[in-house]
């Protein structure tokens, strides 16, 4: 409407953006430890106990439902892109359990006093475009008038109960594969500070807006070679790798030099574009991880909070090479980043 003001920059309307705004893991554990939860029904196959990505509820011997939800404040400036990324991020937890998303409900908190409603239209359109790619229906939602914009989805998917991936089945000898490049946290922190515009971090934006879907790419055999999976989000590679190691009672060895890293990320870290989550993720994992010989100015990439990050897969070693080749046909940054070893003193070791 008012052309002289130029397009609204969403990141300038909020204090923190994306998964970097997550409640820190230690704080969350403290809160949850004080709550008495209702007893779980026997049909609940996976709940929140092991920090899995989504809940799984068995409906019949052939069918289980996957439930998850995610929402956050703007991580990018363009409303349509924000909607797309928020939707990809929410669907990711269904893919991380081996499921296919079927329906989604929208969660929208919108500052009617300060933003034009056209922004809400664009956010919802960005999400809808992504849902169309995923073959997922938008079946409703809830909105409130709030001080800051927040958007996300509650997603229901389905999966065969025997096809469920969890973070608890990584086995000694497995190969670790990461499907997307790291660094969305520092890059979007730089965007928010005005150090660069969206065009300078286009690789990161495209990566965050890409579905974590693998099902249509792999054969049944290849699918079964994936023993454990999780998506890398707010707790960074360090936090999610630690959770996988603990849930599976193994340790992980990660080769720092083989980690896929998005364009400009090390420059961005050197510039000091960090979030609170860089610090809290480091604190959360410090005691149980060790990093040897990794340059100090590069190390923070493993603590970088990812929004709509890639899948970390623990894969049967004998199938790892053909599997990685197939995954690379869609995810160009996908890489073999390490291996699963017998449970040692540390959850994971970086070298
Ligand atoms: Co997740
Ligand atoms: Co999540």
> What is the 161 CA–ligand 2 centroid distance (Å)?
21
> What is the 91 CA–ligand 2 centroid distance (Å)?
9
Output the CA–CA distances (angstroms, integers) from residue 94 to 46, 277, 351, in the order listed. Answer: 12, 24, 31
- pLDDT value for 206: 97
> What is the 164 CA–ligand 2 centroid distance (Å)?
17
Q: Higher-confidence residue: 167 or 20?
A: 167
- pLDDT value for 23: 77
In the predicted model, what is the mean pLDDT of residues 229-233? 95
Q: Using CA of residue 76, residue 89, residue 80, residue 260, what is the dihedral sign?
A: positive
pLDDT band at 4 (very low <50, low <70, confident <90, very high): very low
In the predicted model, what is the mean pLDDT of residues 129-154? 97
- pLDDT value for 20: 65
**Among the bound ligands, the one closest to the CA of 92:** 1
**Among the bound ligands, the one closest to the CA of 230:** 1
**Among the bound ligands, the one closest to the CA of 152:** 2
In the predicted model, what is the mean pLDDT of residues 281-292? 88
Q: Check: CB of residue 243 under 8 Å from CB of residue 230.
A: yes
pLDDT of 286 higher than 90: no
**Among the bound ligands, the one closest to the CA of 28:** 2
Which element (helix H / strand E) includes 55? Answer: strand 55-60
pLDDT tens for 200-222 read: 999 999 999 999 999 999 999 99
> What is the 94 CA–ligand 2 centroid distance (Å)?
9
> What is the 265 CA–ligand 2 centroid distance (Å)?
23
> What is the 90 CA–ligand 1 centroid distance (Å)?
8
pLDDT of 63 higher than 90: yes
pLDDT band at 1 (very low <50, low <70, confident <90, very high): very low
- pLDDT value for 3: 39
How far apart CA 61 and CA 162 sit, in angstroms, is: 9
Output the CA–CA distances (angstroms, integers) from residue 47 to 37, 42, 54, 122, 328, in the order listed. Answer: 11, 11, 7, 34, 31
Residues recognised as catalytic: 19
pLDDT of 144 higher than 80: yes
Q: Check: CB of residue 251 under 8 Å from CB of residue 347.
A: yes
Closest CA to 138 of 151, 147, 150, 119: 151
Q: Using CA of residue 98, residue 188, residue 141, residue 126, what is the dihedral sign?
A: negative
In the predicted model, what is the mean pLDDT of residues 73-87? 96
pLDDT tens for 260-285 read: 999 999 999 999 999 999 999 999 89
pLDDT of 2 higher than 60: no
> What is the 1 CA–ligand 2 centroid distance (Å)?
36
Mean pLDDT of the chain: 93
The pLDDT > 70 percentage for the chain reads 96
């Amino acid at each position: 409407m008012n052309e002289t003001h130029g397009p609204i920059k969403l990141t300038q309307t909020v204090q923190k953006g994306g998964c970097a705004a997550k409640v820190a893991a230690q704080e969350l554990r403290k809160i949850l430890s004080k709550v008495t939860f209702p007893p779980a029904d026997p049909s609940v196959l996976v709940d929140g106990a092991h920090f899995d990505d989504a809940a799984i509820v068995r409906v019949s011997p052939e069918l289980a439902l996957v439930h998850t939800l995610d929402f956050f404040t703007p991580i990018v400036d363009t409303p349509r892109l924000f909607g797309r990324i928020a939707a990809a991020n929410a669907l990711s937890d269904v893919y991380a359990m081996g499921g296919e998303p079927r329906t989604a409900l929208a969660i929208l908190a919108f500052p009617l006093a300060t933003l034009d409603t056209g922004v809400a239209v664009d956010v919802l359109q960005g999400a809808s475009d992504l849902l169309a790619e995923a073959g997922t229906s938008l079946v409703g939602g809830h909105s409130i008038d709030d001080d800051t914009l927040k958007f996300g989805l509650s997603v229901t998917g389905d999966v065969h109960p025997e096809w469920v991936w969890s973070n608890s089945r990584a086995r000694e000898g497995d190969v670790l594969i990461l499907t997307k490049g790291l660094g969305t946290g520092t890059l979007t922190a730089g965007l928010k500070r005005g150090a660069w515009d969206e065009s300078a971090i286009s690789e990161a934006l495209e990566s965050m807006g890409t579905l974590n879907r693998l099902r249509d790419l792999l054969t049944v055999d290849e699918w079964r070679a994936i023993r454990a999976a999780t998506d890398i989000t707010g707790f960074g590679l360090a936090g999610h790798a630690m959770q996988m190691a603990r849930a599976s009672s193994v340790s992980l060895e990660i080769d720092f030099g083989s980690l896929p890293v998005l364009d400009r990320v090390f420059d961005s870290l050197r510039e000091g574009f960090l979030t609170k989550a860089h610090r809290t993720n480091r604190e959360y994992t410090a005691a149980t991880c060790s990093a040897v010989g990794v340059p100090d100015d590069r190390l923070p990439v493993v603590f970088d909070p990812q929004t709509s990050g890639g899948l970390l897969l623990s894969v049967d070693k004998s199938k790892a090479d053909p599997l990685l080749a197939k995954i690379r046909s869609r995810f160009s940054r996908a890489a073999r980043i390490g291996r699963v070893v017998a449970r040692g003193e540390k959850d994971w070791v970086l070298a």
